[in-house]
Chain A
Amino acid sequence: MATPENRSFSQYASDGAKAALQSLLKSDVNPAEYQAAMKQLGSLLGDVLAPLIPNSAKCLVVSTAEDADYLSRGVLDGLKNDHIAKTAVFWNNHYSLDNGTSIAPIVHKFLEPGYEKSSQLVVVKSIISGSCVVRTNLLEVIEQVKAQTIYIVSPVMHKNSEASLKSEFPSKISKKFKFIYFAQDAVKEKSGEVIPGIGGEIYPKLGLDNQPVKTGFIPELVKELTHMH
């Protein structure tokens, strides 16, 4: 399998992870295939993460609403075998201000009861480009959870995202960051889209019309954890 141009893989990228990343890039991929690939990438990331966290430690897995049912569920599946893992899901409204600053305030939220007792924060995102959403969702919980380690977990990151995210936080917080990813891409378009990244904008790829806050979408994971069914 050829490595896409401008992409490098991390030590964690197994052949399975590389194949799943490649399947995200197929031009004819349908939402069901894309969802399955994201879930598989989540499971593989969870498998990487699980041995790094002591079994006795409680984890909080934080994600956006669009990532909850696939990437985040995969990470949770990987972790829940031998860890207590709670879930947080945020509905961000991601947009740009007149001065070009990107913001993603939270509109709705799900915080699984007992989340405050977690000591390991796991912030999951399908792709990390400018890191605005990751930063926002981390800020939402950082003062409620006394985290010893903060894992930033993503299948693909832009090469500058790690430094960019660290620079946003005081060193007493950023020194807790550990980045777990499979691929790092060097190219970013003016729109902020990382190339090849995850094959384009995530919403249509997953079968969503738009950002969840604009469609009223409620992830199945949230329905299950709130016992709606």
Chain B
Amino acid sequence: MRTYCFCEHFPYLESSVELILAHKPLRNDLEKICAESNLQTLDTAFKIIHSAWATSSSKAKRTVGDIVGEAKKMSRPNIFHSLVPERQVPKWLMEKCAAFHGCNASVESGVVYVRYNGLEISVPNAPEDLSADLEKKLLAIKKVDAFVQLLTDFTKQSFL
């Protein structure tokens, strides 16, 4: 850790938001690790990394990678997107989205998103291939609200 770190004190920036907004190098690094620039995500990432760091024993030998790895495990959803393996939009999802005007799927930094008229559903656990059960459910879906419901039902499994 000591090889790669230095310490700087900002006595007048008491909250994480103030620190991120005022200290550009910190913001740049958080943007790199999250692969996005939204302030909410960066602040959440800061808090998670801080917790992973602050709750460990100071005597334990740990690398930067150990702390980031712990932070990733603590992050629900995983907001450390630069560490998410790249993937494609599953074929079944692309095809079903095409059935509804204005509905589209994309992968950004390894996470699958479906968007529809301002709604953005993240489906980090979207399966690559169709199971028989999923195929049956998809065939029965004729309306976009039922499709969006299926997607949020997928995502909720990651949080149970």
Contact = CB atoms under 8 A, between A and B. Distances in A.
Interface of A: 93, 95, 97-99, 101, 103, 105-113, 115, 135-137, 139-140, 142-143, 167-170, 211, 213-218, 222-223, 225-229
Given A97-B47, A142-B39, A105 B159 contact: no
Contact of A218 (B15, B76, B77, B149): B149
A98 B55 contact: yes
Nearest to B160: A214
Contact of B21 (A103, A135, A170, A211): A170
B145 A218 contact: yes
Interface stretch (B59-67, B82-90, B115-123, B126-134): B115-123
Given A108-B120, A136-B40, A222-B119, A101 B18 contact: no
A34 to B, nearest CB: 23
A112 B119 CA distance: 8
Given A103-B44, A105-B44, A113-B118, 19 more contacts: A93-B77, A101-B51, A103-B47, A105-B40, A105-B41, A106-B40, A107-B77, A108-B122, A108-B155, A109-B120, A110-B118, A136-B40, A136-B43, A136-B44, A167-B15, A216-B155, A218-B149, A228-B145, A229-B145
A132 to B, nearest CB: 10
B11 to A, nearest CB: 15
B3 interface: no
Nearest to B14: A167
Contact of B55 (A99, A136, A139): A99
A65 to B, nearest CB: 10
B148 interface: yes
A115 B120 CA distance: 14
Nearest to A229: B145
A103 B116 contact: no
Given A98-B51, A106-B40, A140-B38, A216 B152 contact: yes
Nearest to A108: B121
Q: Chain B: interface residue count, which band? A: 35 or more
Nearest to B114: A108
Nearest to B54: A99
Contacts of A216: 149, 152-153, 155-156
A95 B48 CA distance: 11
B23 interface: no
Interface in B123-159: 143-145, 148-149, 152-153, 155-156, 159
Contacts of A225: 117-118
Nearest to B44: A105
Interface in B1-52: 14-15, 17-18, 21-22, 38-41, 43-44, 47-48, 50-52
B120 A214 contact: no
A108 B115 CA distance: 10
Nearest to A142: B39
Given A103-B47, A107-B77, A167-B15, A213 B117 contact: no
A108 B119 contact: yes
Contacts of A139: 17, 38-40, 43
The 5 lowest CB-CB distance pairs between A and B, nearest first, are A97-B51, A139-B40, A216-B152, A228-B145, A226-B117
Given A93-B77, A105-B44, A215 B120 contact: no
